[in-house]
């Protein structure tokens, strides 16, 4: 099955995008498919390849927009699927236990070639991995193999975009993808227009939400995980056809708490350079940053927060989906 979309280059005259993502100036960015998903201008062959990822009924696919709880749910689902083998979970979530499908899209072609040549497993071909596969991806559903939902178990996690955009901004700053001059408000404006690297937030979320009643789809929100982690663990176990004892539930709940995950080297991406303190300020720069709902209030201006409310309201109207930006105190 051929990837059905092409790319339309983003011209150099779109200065705001290139100023935000300066490292893409040289090779350029393009918009792919009807939702105008932004990747490097040379991404088409990779998108074609990922569209043809082989499917097997015993693989698990995890679909999320960035910073919506991918690694949290990935650790949860991996442990449920591996009968709570906490010993075996002492290996890096990515790339040892989970395959991050979009990784080759996130690096420049020259960097990718160097990583492949060095045998870096973050960019290994999925077909070189032992099965069953545990796959994480930020790609929207229409960029994935068309028979995915009819073949595999799929879990989708989304989060309110006000917290997701702050979390993404912080991470892209940490890995030097964003211009250091770009403010979080400016990045949030690009996020709302969709003129930034990756899939526009709402088209990605709503494509998964539309499939929420498919028997192979489990749709969960970050805020549900925050409010009722035990309930979500039980839903995942039911989705994957696994039985958990009361003791396993307790162990999982403890293991998956933010307090525990923030110090867990296997999920905290220390292998990918996170968690090093800032050399000048000494600030803690971990992948597991705050893990809160409502942290956007500490970062977004009132004006941009209000714009985001209007944008959320417009995009969610009539969909039945609610994204909570604030949780009651426990
Ligand atoms: P913050 O940056 O707001 O802290 P992803 O895995 O999709 O990249 O999402 C990362 C976000 O999920 C980060 O958000 C991270 O702290 C949060 N997260 C990860 N594990 C968590 C946990 N156990 N409890 C709460 N939040 C968690």
Atom number in ligand 1 closest to CA 71: 6
256 within ligand 1 shell (Cβ under 6 A): yes
Residue 179 burial (C-beta neighbours within 10 Å; 0-12, 13-18, 19+): middle
Question: What integer pLDDT is reported at residue 27 of this predicted model?
Answer: 87
Task: Give pLDDT tens digits for 157-179.
Answer: 999 999 999 999 999 988 888 99
DSSP 93: I
Q: Please say if the pLDDT value at position 316 is more than 70.
A: yes
Q: Which of 72, 93, 300 to mutate to test the pocket of ligand 1 (most atoms within 8 A of CB)?
A: 72
289 within ligand 1 shell (Cβ under 6 A): yes
What is the Cα Rg of the chain in Å?
19
The two tokens of residue 42 are 């040379």
Residue 95: cis peptide before it, omega within 30 degrees of 0: yes
156 within ligand 1 shell (Cβ under 6 A): no
Contact criterion met (CB below 8 Å) for 241 and 235: no
**What does DSSP say about strands 37-40 and 153-158: parallel, antiparallel, or unpaired?**
unpaired
Buried b (16+ CB within 10 A) or exposed e, 239-248: beebebeeeb
- Say how far apart CA 68 and CA 78 lie, in whole Å: 17
- Say how far apart CA 5 and CA 33 lie, in whole Å: 5
258 within ligand 1 shell (Cβ under 6 A): yes
Q: Please say if the pLDDT value at position 54 is more than 70.
A: yes
Which string of DSSP letters, residue by residue, matches 94-130?
A: IIIISEETTHHHHS-HHHHHHHHHTT-GGG--GGGSP
Least confident of 100-109, 217-226, 307-316: 100-109
- Say how far apart CA 58 and CA 224 lie, in whole Å: 26
Architecture of domain 7-269+285-316: 3-Layer(aba) Sandwich (3.40)
- Say how far apart CA 161 and CA 82 lie, in whole Å: 31
Task: Give pLDDT tens digits for 96-106.
Answer: 999 999 999 98
């Amino acid at each position: 099955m051929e990837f059905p979309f092409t790319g339309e280059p983003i011209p150099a005259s779109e200065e705001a995008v290139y100023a935000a993502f300066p490292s893409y100036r040289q090779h350029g960015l393009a918009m792919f498919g009807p939702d105008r998903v932004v990747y490097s201008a040379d991404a088409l062959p990779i998108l074609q390849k990922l569209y043809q990822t082989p499917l097997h009924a015993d693989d698990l696919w995890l679909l999320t927009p960035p910073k919506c709880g991918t690694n949290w749910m990935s650790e949860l689902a991996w442990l449920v699927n591996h009968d709570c083998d906490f010993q075996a979970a002492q290996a890096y979530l990515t790339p040892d236990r989970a395959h991050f499908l979009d990784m080759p899209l996130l690096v420049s072609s020259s960097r990718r070639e160097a990583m492949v040549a060095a045998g870096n497993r973050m960019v290994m071909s999925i077909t070189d991995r032992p099965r069953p596969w545990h796959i994480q991806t930020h790609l929207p559903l229409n960029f994935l193999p068309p028979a995915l939902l009819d073949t595999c178990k799929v879990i989708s996690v989304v989060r309110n975009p006000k917290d997701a955009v702050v979390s993404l901004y912080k991470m892209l700053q940490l890995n030097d993808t964003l211009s250091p001059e770009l403010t979080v408000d400016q990045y949030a404006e690009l996020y709302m227009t969709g003129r930034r690297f990756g899939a526009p937030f709402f088209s990605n979320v709503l494509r998964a939400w539309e499939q929420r009643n498919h028997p192979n789809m489990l749709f969960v929100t970050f805020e549900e995980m925050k409010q009722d982690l035990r309930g979500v663990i039980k839903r995942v176990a039911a989705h994957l056809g696994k039985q958990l004892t009361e003791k396993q539930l307790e162990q999982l709940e403890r293991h998956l708490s933010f307090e525990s995950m923030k110090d867990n080297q296997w999920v905290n991406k220390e292998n990918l350079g996170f968690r090093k303190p800032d050399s000048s300020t000494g600030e803690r720069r971990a992948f597991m940053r705050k893990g809160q709902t409502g942290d956007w209030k500490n970062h977004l201006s009132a004006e941009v927060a209000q714009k985001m409310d209007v944008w959320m309201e417009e995009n969610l109207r009539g969909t039945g989906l609610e994204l909570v930006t604030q949780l009651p105190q426990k």
